[in-house]
Structure 1
Amino acid sequence: MSFTLLNACSDDNEEDNNDTISQTLTEADKNALLFMLEEEKLARDTYQYLDDLWAINQFSNIKLSEQTHMNLVSNLLDYYNVEYNILPVGEFVNQELQNFYNQFVIDGQVNQSNALQIGATIEDLDIVDLESNLNATTNTSIIEVFENLQCGSRNHLRSFVSVIENSGETYTPQFLTQQEYNLIINSNHEQCN
């Protein structure tokens, strides 16, 4: 399928005047959008559960961001007329994400420290999966949205790690390399679009 987006720029030169940019949604792009919608839902659902359990500011604030992230991906799916279904809280089409959620619920009940570790782990995973999907697409709309989500996830990771470290504990990256992790943690909060 091929879709057309309007180009916001205009040019009086007839030869250079191209009013449209052709954007193709590949099967891989479609699958990436559907997967990231569920992965953002994993974050939202988990944080909602952990916020109800522990009432920690990070969970109450970041779960709202995750809903915004879900909306951004949903908007793209709607734009490209891709059918999707958002399952009830705690339910996922992707079995790996379902397994993560189930484990996070079990581990998150243990104590607040575990809950915060889970928050950092979700953001760690999200950054890596977004990077993988960014490297696999040429669709500029997807790139723009995924870069925005990744920026948010880096800020969320910094927030969780800050609280973990303030309590005298540490977070060890589960998906990012140590070098990637250090680069994020040692950088300032970012302004995301």
Structure 2
Amino acid sequence: MGKEELMKRLERRIKGCQKCPLGQLRTNAVPGAGSYDAEVMFVGEAPGYWEDQKGLPFVGRAGKVLDELLGAIGLSREEVYITNIVKCRPPENRDPTEDEIKACSPYLDRQIDIIRPKVIVPLGRYSMGYILRKFGFEPEPISKIHGKTFEAHTLFGKIVIMPMYHPAAALYKPPLREELKKDFEKLKEVIKSDK
């Protein structure tokens, strides 16, 4: 079975999921979007209002910031894969709970197994914490480790993990936009060196 078929099957499961109370509250589950052959996978925390309305990741104001950052290093959404740890919107855009992450993270694990990205970029502290622990690293505050690289070895090869601030943070704290731009420039170098 090819990647596309595996991902479509997984997306159907996510859209019908009721493993936690968020399944009752959502308008749409948000499995993810982009290339199933992506070398770079971005992992946010959870869908917000517009994501819940449209069933697509990063389509609100934070998504516009992400689009700008991608464009600045010559990438488009179609070339990368964008998803979240939690696939349904928490009420009032609150942070995802441990239970919600636990219920939903097997979907993310499966997406990583199918896509087999070379680089994973966790956006924000919750996705950073989950991804780093999953690959055997001890998370530190995101202010200390954003833009740093961690090398994980998996059954399908090396993955570089590069935590970054969530694009939404740039909306509330404009100085973080500069940090994000610098981190994306580093990401561009990591992608190049991996070719």
Q: Where on the TM-score scale, by shorter chain, does this alignment land: which range?
A: 0.3 to 0.5
Question: Normalized against structure 1, the TM-score is what?
Answer: 0.33
Q: Which has the higher helix share?
A: 1
> Greater relative contact order (Cα 8 A, min sep 6): structure 1 or 2?
2
Q: Higher strand share goes to which structure?
A: 2
The structure with the largest alpha-carbon Rg is 1
